[in-house]
Amino acid sequence: MLDPSNVFLTGVALEALSQWDNTLKTFQQKLGKHFARSEARRAAFDYIQALLSPVERKNGWQIAEQVGDVNPYRFQHLLGRAQWNADTVCAAIRQYAVEHLKSETDILAIDETGFLKQGEQSVGVQVQYYGTTGHLENCQVGVFMSYISDKGQTLIDRRLYLPRSWTEDQNKRKKGAVPEEILFATKPQLAIQMLESAIAEGIRPAWFVADEVYGNDGSFWWWLEKTAKQPYVLTVNKKQPVVIGWQRYRAEDLLPQSDSQQWQRLSCGAGSKGERYYDWARVPVNCDKSDGFQRWLLFRRCLEHPDDPRFISYYQVFANSNTTLEAMAQIAGQRWRIEECFKFAKDQLGLGEYEVRSWHG
């Protein structure tokens, strides 16, 4: 006799599978209009389904095998030569994601991640810093934007970082099919491009967060303040220059004494082992307050090593002048969620296992 619980669980599983199938079909319909040729449209849908499948590695041959193709040529054509606009498709995906995740406390995060490569032909590849190992590796580097809310997080935009060794080498540009209009841009400049695109589409997050690569770039955070009017929490290094009154300081000069009452023990959000508590303090620094905003230096110290400078983190914050220290701590604690996006995309969806070499691919 069938166990009633098994029958019930099977029914639940089938219902969930049906809902997932309907969701995927709706998503495909949104993207379908961006592929003029039916062959490219079918290849794109098959590619998406293969990426979502349990195939261990999402490279060309295994993806082809998953959908019943004898070789990966159809997908290589889709990614490298077929006529469709990747930026337009990305905008559609971005809109779809924001519709489902939008909340009053949404956050945009920018970070970069690398993709190890063996040869020298993949566009943008060179020996450069690879964050996963913390060493110089032969890799490509992409700068990504993530949308974060209390409903979840996802990647919504991307730019390939093209080093000067590529932008200034006409032979490499030709082999990689790099468009003429693509010039060298720093990672913060690529971040501005993505933020401008998001703002143009009406995405105005409550906060923006990023690491030292962006926090240490004065032109970047100045753009956030003066052009975008965007509240932010940016990680900076201990030598970050700030001005209070007429005096210039480095961030480490303003660190409160270990026994100062400025320190408050606050959680920056829940982790895998519960709430993540640190001691936090802040110091206001010079800022044009005519629009009701204030700039601060924010400090975080580890509870186990309160006097060890190696365990002190520094942030620069720009926000409404009535923003609380607790709110700043909460936002600073959200940046790790873009790293969760990278981990999931690399572990489950084959980010970095692609085998195309051209700029378009």
Cα dihedral 253, 255, 260, 261 sign: positive
Longest dimension (CA), the chain: 84
The yes-or-no verdict on residue 5 having pLDDT over 50 is: no
pLDDT at 85: 93
Give the pLDDT band of residue 30 (cuts 50, 70, 90): confident
Percent of the chain with pLDDT over 70: 95
Percent of the chain with pLDDT over 90: 78
Counting Cβ atoms within 10 Å, is residue 347 exposed (0-12), middle (13-18) or buried (19+)? exposed
323 against 22, higher pLDDT:
323
The yes-or-no verdict on residue 6 having pLDDT over 70 is: no
The yes-or-no verdict on residue 2 having pLDDT over 50 is: no
The yes-or-no verdict on residue 274 having pLDDT over 90 is: no
8 against 288, higher pLDDT:
288
The yes-or-no verdict on residue 252 having pLDDT over 80 is: yes
pLDDT at 11: 47
Mean pLDDT calculated for residue range 315-321:
97
Mean pLDDT calculated for residue range 199-211:
95
> What phi, psi does 346 have (nearest 5°)?
-75, -40
What is the Cα–Cα distance from 358 to 361, expressed in whole angstroms?
Answer: 5
The yes-or-no verdict on residue 18 having pLDDT over 70 is: no
Q: Are 314 and 235 in contact (CB under 8 A)?
A: yes
Nearest residue to 214 via CA among 191, 185, 193: 191
pLDDT at 272: 74
pTM (2 d.p.): 0.91
**Lowest-pLDDT range of 23-27, 66-70, 150-154:** 23-27
pLDDT at 153: 96
63-91: pLDDT as tens digits:
999 999 999 999 999 998 898 999 999 99
Strand partners, 114: 141
Strand partners, 242: 249
* CA 305-311-312 angle, 5° bins: 115
Question: Considering the chain, what is the average pLDDT of its residues?
Answer: 91
Which spans in the chain are helix H?
4-32, 38-51, 60-67, 73-80, 86-101, 164-167, 170-175, 187-200, 212-215, 218-226, 325-332, 336-348
CA distances (Å), origin 155, targets 47, 90, 186, 322: 18, 10, 20, 31
E strands present in 117-240: 126-130, 135-149, 152-160, 207-210, 232-236
156-198: pLDDT as tens digits:
999 999 999 999 999 999 999 999 999 999 999 999 999 999 9
